[in-house]
Amino acid sequence: DAKTTQPNSMESNEEEPVHLPCNHSTISGTDYIHWYRQLPSQGPEYVIHGLTSNVNNRMASLAIAEDRKSSTLILHRATLRDAAVYYCILRGPSSSNTGKLIFGQGTTLQVKP
């Protein structure tokens, strides 16, 4: 799976939007962009994923660059409960490889009250 690059850490104020960037310049045409987050002492949880078009769900929005070499996870109004490590991961289609999900270092998001 292609590699992703994320900032080590970011800070945000409560109730403000947060934009978490991810670079994936070696992404292939069939790679999906997945975002997971991990709260302290818990397993990761799914946030959102997309292929080419921007995606929205109740948790966040995913903005994907036109060339797909980067993407941005958008939390519209950060809360203290959003403080977590956010992982941007590329995954091939379900039919490919063994289905492994490989984690990078992620971005640690701190939310200040």
Note the residues at the interface with another protein (CB under 8 A).
34, 36, 38, 41-46, 49, 85, 87, 98-106
Phi-psi region of 52 (alpha: psi -120 to 50; beta: other; left: phi over 0): alpha
Which DSSP helix (H) or strand (E) runs through 53?
A: none
H helices, E strands: number in the chain: 0, 9
Minimum CB separation of residue 43 from another protein in Å reads: 3
Minimum CB separation of residue 42 from another protein in Å reads: 6
Closer residue to another protein in complex, CB, 44/83? 44
Minimum CB separation of residue 15 from another protein in Å reads: 27
Closer residue to another protein in complex, CB, 9/28? 9
The Cα–Cα gap between 98 and 3 comes to 17
